[in-house]
Amino acid sequence: MSGSGKVAGSLVLPKRFHAKVDVRWSDMDVFQHVNHARMVTLLEEARIPWLFEDGRPTAPLREGCVLADLRVRYRGQLRHEDTPLDIAMWIEQLRAVDFTIGYEVRAAGALPDSPAAVVASTQIAAFDMRAQRLRRLTDAERDYLSEWMD
């Protein structure tokens, strides 16, 4: 599900792709909140429908891309009862061979302008698997990604 310039009350929200991702019991740690390694997996699950599904201009990236950087900041706890998580995504930076995705993760039912429990970013680089080297993003990939720039 995507959003673009939506109005929440009198606040205009920037364009974001929103994915609803279920928290599984196995995602919890001994303290009953989402484990860090599992949060990274939930972020990955959120970006798949946005970038890699058939029909998306960025679908060819599933044939080759690499995660170059990952940052996760926790500002609140997320628990199993917060499912499905609302993971909002956008493009923070777009360059010739890579792009950086920004994420905000909120509990189910949280207002879109409420503080996010998790703020993250991933830098993803296009990669030619046969040549084993980075490749330039195509015009179609760049055009699609640029629609989601913050």
Question: Read out DSSP for 44-61?
Answer: HHHHHHHHTSTTSTTGGG
Contact indicator for 108, 83 with CB cutoff of 8 Å: yes
What is the model's pLDDT at position 14?
Answer: 82
The per-residue pLDDT for 147 is: 96
Measured CA to CA, the distance from residue 31 to residue 43 in angstroms comes to: 21
Q: What is the pLDDT of residue 12?
A: 62
- Going by C-beta distance under 8 Å and a sequence separation of 6 or more, which residues neighbour residue 117? 74, 75, 76, 77, 78, 82, 105, 106, 107
Is the pTM higher than 0.95? The answer reads no
Q: How many CB atoms lie within 10 A of CB 74?
A: 16
d(CA 33, CA 27): 8
Question: Which tokens is 84 given?
Answer: 């499905």
Per-residue pLDDT of the chain (150 residues; tens, 9 = 90+): 555 455 455 556 689 999 999 999 999 989 899 999 999 999 999 999 999 999 999 999 999 999 999 999 999 999 999 999 999 999 999 999 999 999 999 999 999 889 999 999 999 999 999 999 999 999 999 999 999 998
Beta bridge partners of 17: 2, 89
Supply φ then ψ for residue 122, to 5 degrees. -135, 135
Q: What is the pLDDT of residue 5?
A: 52
**Residue 133 confidence (pLDDT):** 97
Query: Using CA atoms, how far apart are residues 36 and 77, in angstroms rounded to an integer?
Result: 11
Res 55: pLDDT? 95
